[in-house]
A and B are shown apart, each in its own frame.
Chain A
Amino acid sequence: MNRFADHRPAAHRWNARRRRLVWILAVFGCFGVAVALIVNATRNNLVFFYSPTQVAERQAPYGRTFRIGGLVQMGSLHHEGDGVDIRFVVTDTAHSIPVVYHGVLPDMFEQGKGVVAQGRLGANGVFQADQVLAKHDADYMPPDAASALQAARATKSNAVARGGGG
């Protein structure tokens, strides 16, 4: 195996070495900039998650964006004014946090179900959300399908009549 550099005259080798240095510096410079950007971005843009209990125990920061998660308390949802000003309460059953939100709620939002809200905690203890996420779960069966299945039976018997089956 021949090594490329060994066949070149000394002057060339020095030249190559300097060129190499330029490249290494350039590459490291580039990475340096990237690292600086990343450090800066992580300082300002990481969003922490707290439970209502942690918020009630004052572990959550005021004036900084974070997320809270829990269940939407039954009967706590109110549309106010225009209908796009929304109030509800997030609870982990031990503690409850009132939330206000201006906007349209996601499809999966339901009272008694899980929710995650992102926003800031106001001085009055009310969480001002600018984003509300309701999670659905693909893992196992959501309820409320029972009625749907009755409706589906008609379709199914048709399929059998047409000669379906295993």
Chain B
Amino acid sequence: MKAGIRYLVPIAALLAIAALLGSGLTHDPRLVPSPLVGKAAPPIVLPEVADPARTFDSANLHGKVWVLNVWASWCVSCRQEHPVLMVLRDQANLPLYGLDYKDTRDAALQWLAAAGNPYLSSASDPKGTVGMNFGVYGVPETYVIDKLGVIRYKQIGPLTPQVVDHTILPLVARLSQ
């Protein structure tokens, strides 16, 4: 009798479902392709966190590839991300700038002093108006901006070493050529 074959049907079903689930893992259903990717970054003209008398103007960064990290002292996920940023500052030669989102200057300075400042400079956005132009969903978010001021990549949520190594650094290297 070939009855034995039918006992293998469940395994075939399992493999089919597993293949389907596996293919599902390669897509992110919540990935809202950011409408800003491929578009010019909104201008940032804000006081600097370190010295409010000075102005952070993104126009000065024209001609450079740079990375914008949206952060806040009250944000727990930013603390999770922070070591990655510190490594990035120390090891990779990457112009990393910050946007301090909906935060007070005192709290921000305190946090940077306590944990270390990974940014070349940070812009202070206490009301979140610039963040709104960037379509910030939440904190942290990270943007890679090219020489022409166009957003080339957007990371929602904390950066991980994998994202840095496999996506951000290669992208920055490519754009810098």
Chain A residues close to B by CB (< 8 Å): 69-71, 74, 91-94, 112-114, 135, 137, 139-146, 149
Contact = CB atoms under 8 A, between A and B. Distances in A.
A133 to B, nearest CB: 13
Interface of chain A, main secondary structure: loop
A143 B136 contact: yes
B176 interface: no
A94 B35 CA distance: 7
Contacts of B140: 140-141
B104 A112 contact: no
Contact of A139 (B32, B132, B157): B157
Contacts of B136: 143
A94 B150 CA distance: 15
B36 A143 contact: no
Interface string B37-68: 00100000000000000000000000000000
Nearest to A147: B102
A68 B44 CA distance: 31
B128 interface: yes
B149 interface: no
B118 interface: no
Contacts of B132: 74, 112
A146 B138 contact: no
B19 interface: no
Interface of B: 30, 32, 35-36, 39, 72, 74-78, 101-104, 107, 128, 131-132, 135-140, 156-158
Nearest to B36: A93
A114 B136 CA distance: 11
B35 A93 contact: yes
Nearest to B81: A140
Contact of A141 (B35, B36, B77, B135): B77
B107 to A, nearest CB: 8
Given A140-B77, A141-B75, A141-B77, A146 B102 contact: yes
B31 to A, nearest CB: 11
- Residue picked from A92, A93, A140, most chain B C-beta under 10 Å: A140
Contact of B39 (A71, A91, A93, A145): A93
A93 B39 CA distance: 10
A141 B76 contact: yes
B35 A137 contact: no
Given A93-B36, A94-B35, A137-B138, A143 B76 contact: no
Nearest to B103: A146
Nearest to A71: B135
